[in-house]
Amino acid sequence: MIEVKNIRKSFGEKEILKDISILFKRGEINLVIGASGSGKSVLTKCIVGLHEVDSGTISYDGREFTAMNFNQRKDIRSEIGMLFQGGALFDSLTVEENVRFPLEMYTKQSKEEMLDRVNFCLKRVNLENVNNLYPAEISGGMQKRVGIARAIALNPKYLFCDEPNSGLDPKTGIVIDNLIYDLTKEFDITTICVTHDMNSVMETGENIVFLHQGQKWWEGDKKSILKTDDEVLCDFVYSSRIMKKFKNL
Ligand SMILES: Nc1ncnc2c1ncn2[C@@H]1O[C@H](COP(=O)(O)OP(=O)(O)OP(=O)(O)O)[C@@H](O)[C@H]1O
């Protein structure tokens, strides 16, 4: 689990994160939702240490990350898998080389061990016989799967996903959501997903945190989000006309 306690973050005079406390549970998908500019990216960047917080603490299974120096943080970083928006694969590397990349960075495994692990991860995301293809030669959905295979290559305890469905059709998006869900359960990962996508919320929303103007405005699960009377949250959830009609049925 990852525990964020009373964190604050400002850029200049502007306070972006306003006293946020959240418990991200292990073995569950924890969704962070909110309108553009609400502070989702700044929050996740603080959690992984790309931004320093001004105050408050962040702990990974009881290990206080905010109190650690750069070297101490390396151990925790090696336990984190990241799935970036758009996949962020290296275009000049093959699928196999992309998935092998973190193994080369962080382990001393032999070539054979790395190949075994790469093949295991690719198989786990239902990709076979694509090792030697380049990202440009596979579909967007397949690229996401390669991104997921790379994110789980080091057997992470923590998985961060930034808009995992962006650029995918709704059906492929749900396949990706379900894959992340299954991996979270199978390997008991603390998964944090930043998303705008209400399909994802309804598919995998076990723990949902809604940020509004830098504050934790609401938290709950997918059942309670549909029943909420909170005006700000309703405005986000039922932002499209069709969703508004659905709410009024
Ligand atoms: N490095 C930075 N320096 C100054 N201001 C920043 C910086 N990064 C983010 N901000 C500001 O922080 C606020 C929150 O931005 P953030 O990127 O966290 O929003 P978000 O909720 O992730 O939005 P989106 O859904 O559009 O990605 C915005 O007003 C943004 O301009």
Whole-number average pLDDT of the chain = 91
Q: Is 34's C-beta closer than 6 angstroms to any atom of ligand 1?
A: yes
Above 70 in pLDDT, residue 126?
Answer: yes
DSSP string, the chain: -EEEEEEEEEETTEEEEEEEEEEEPTTSEEEEEE-TTSSHHHHHHHHHTSS--SEEEEEETTEEGGG--HHHHHHHHTTEEEE-TT----TTS-HHHHHHHHHHHH----HHHHHHHHHHHHHHTT--S-TT--GGGS-HHHHHHHHHHHHHTT--SEEEEESTTTTS-HHHHHHHHHHHHHHHHHTT-EEEEE---HHHHHHH-SEEEEEETTEEEEEE-HHHHHH---HHHHHHHT-SHHHHHHHT-
39 Cα nearest atom in ligand 1: 18
What's residue 185's pLDDT? Answer: 95
- Among 9, 11, 215, the mutation site with the greatest number of ligand 1 atoms within 8 A of its Cβ is 11
| CATH, range 2-248 | 3.40.50.300
Q: Is 13's C-beta closer than 6 angstroms to any atom of ligand 1?
A: no
Average pLDDT over residues 71-78: 90
Q: How far is the CA of 42 from the centre of ligand 1 (A)?
A: 6
Q: Is 36's C-beta closer than 6 angstroms to any atom of ligand 1?
A: yes
What's residue 240's pLDDT? Answer: 62
Average pLDDT over residues 170-177: 86
37 Cα nearest atom in ligand 1: 19
What's residue 4's pLDDT? Answer: 98
pLDDT in tens, 200-216: 888 888 899 999 999 99
Give the pLDDT band (50/70/90) at residue 130. very high
Give the pLDDT band (50/70/90) at residue 245. low
Q: How far is the CA of 39 from the centre of ligand 1 (A)?
A: 6
What's residue 84's pLDDT? Answer: 80
Above 90 in pLDDT, residue 52?
Answer: yes
**Whether the complex's predicted ipTM surpasses the cut of 0.95:** yes
Q: Is 38's C-beta closer than 6 angstroms to any atom of ligand 1?
A: yes
What's residue 171's pLDDT? Answer: 84
Residue-range domain boundaries for the chain: 2-248
Average pLDDT over residues 70-98: 89
38 Cα nearest atom in ligand 1: 21
196 Cα nearest atom in ligand 1: 25
pLDDT in tens, 97-124: 999 999 998 899 999 999 999 999 999 9
Above 70 in pLDDT, residue 247?
Answer: no
Q: How far is the CA of 220 from the centre of ligand 1 (A)?
A: 24
Above 80 in pLDDT, residue 242?
Answer: no
Above 90 in pLDDT, residue 15?
Answer: yes
